[in-house]
Structure 1
Amino acid sequence: MGGHTLSFRLGPWLPWMRMGDRPGYLIYSATGRKTLTVEDLPSLLQEQLERLEASSEYREGADMTSWLYFQEHFEAYLEGALFPVT
């Protein structure tokens, strides 16, 4: 088993946050490590994986990103909707 890794990146405010030109930025961070087997994972995660019902079908289409979501709901944004749009 390998050691822990840490990754992060900085980004600007996202448009739907309505932060305008206020100073600041977003910090995206994640930690992780490699495991050889499912049994090497924490028990809570093992339990959640056992309950997971993953589809065996391939879904066509692009992955959803925050920017794509914003683009899809741009009109709602202009009308003052709060995100996520329900």
Structure 2
Amino acid sequence: MEYTIIGVLLMATSLLIMHISELKDRMSRMNSTLQKIASKVGVEEPFIDQNELRSLIAEGKKVQAVKKVRMDLGLGLKEAKEYVDNLDKI
């Protein structure tokens, strides 16, 4: 009985992982298509003042820097945090 439950859970987990992988691939293709459309239409890249972000980081206001990146560039939390973290390295 326990082995059956474990087997079902493992199968469900593997199906979920496959579905997530498929969704990631689909999102990547959609993002690529959107970038192509934006370049043809002439949509400009959003601008963000990196000096302002560096000042916020220097003042210990990293959370505010991440919030600004999210708002100005339209990134998700993880991507905005990575952007700010990478800004420290430049």
TM-score range, shorter-chain basis? under 0.3
Q: Which has the higher contact order (CA 8 A, sep 6+)?
A: 1
TM-score by length of 2: 0.20
- Structure with higher strand content: 1
- Structure with higher helix content: 2
Please tell me whether Structure 1 or Structure 2 has the larger radius of gyration of its CA atoms: 2
TM-score by length of 1: 0.21
